[in-house]
Amino acid sequence: MIGLIALFLVFNKFSKLRPAFIFPRWKDYQVYGVDISRHQGEIDWYQLKAHEVKFAFMKASEGEKLQDIQFENNWSMAKEVGIARGAYHFYRPNLDWKIQARNFISNVELEKGDLPPVLDIELIHNSDQKYLLTEIKKWLEVVEKHYGVKPIVYTYENYYNRFLLDEFRGYNLWIAKYNYNSPQLEDGAHWEFWQYSESGELKGIDEKVDLNCFYGTKEQFRRILKK
């Protein structure tokens, strides 16, 4: 019984401090991070840094008008502690793509060392999914032109395989799949980021948080940051 208690305490310690050691296998990936929004509330960024969080994607905007109330603080604090930061826009399919692009651009100023901008695609169009793809590509083109760096496309594995096959092969992909097995994209596309949990626990964040890993070495991760 004492042995089981000791094992539990060790597991609990590492699950709190370094979830990457538990799931997925720590040896498979070198770079781990989180993604956050207002739902995580106030964050102790110094604790995240101490627990080897290397990057943080954070919600900046949604639709035509919404801007995340925690973004400004999260954005500045990530820079202060030295965690690579990235900003994402949650796309609303039935709203004007141009206004959505302006919403993101007006809220996010990228600097050297930041991750590329991210477009979060999770919802389907009410009537025309092909039209949605056209609008998404316009958003990506305008944002790329503004920042001088190709955006990252985020979505779920199932959504990608149903709606996005062969549409975004030229983009870095960030794929959500809450499973021990890594994402499998049916068109053979390669993903760069894997969101492997939506219920992580980390000291420094009071609420559950999404956990992510990067497919590649630390040096390869540094190469995708804004020059």
Indicate which residue of 28, 52, 122, 206 is catalytic: 122
Indicate which residue of 35, 135, 157, 192 is catalytic: 35
Q: Is 35 an annotated catalytic residue?
A: yes
Q: Is 122 an annotated catalytic residue?
A: yes
CA torsion through residues 98, 77, 23, 29, sign: positive
Cβ atoms < 10 Å from Cβ of 121: 23
Query: Would you state the structure tokens that stand for residue 190, as one six-digit string?
Result: 């390669």
In contact, 189 and 200? CB cutoff 8 Å: no
- DSSP, collapsed to helix, strand or coil, labels residue 60 as strand
**Residue 174: closest CA among 185, 187, 186, 162:** 185
**Residues that are catalytic:** 35, 122
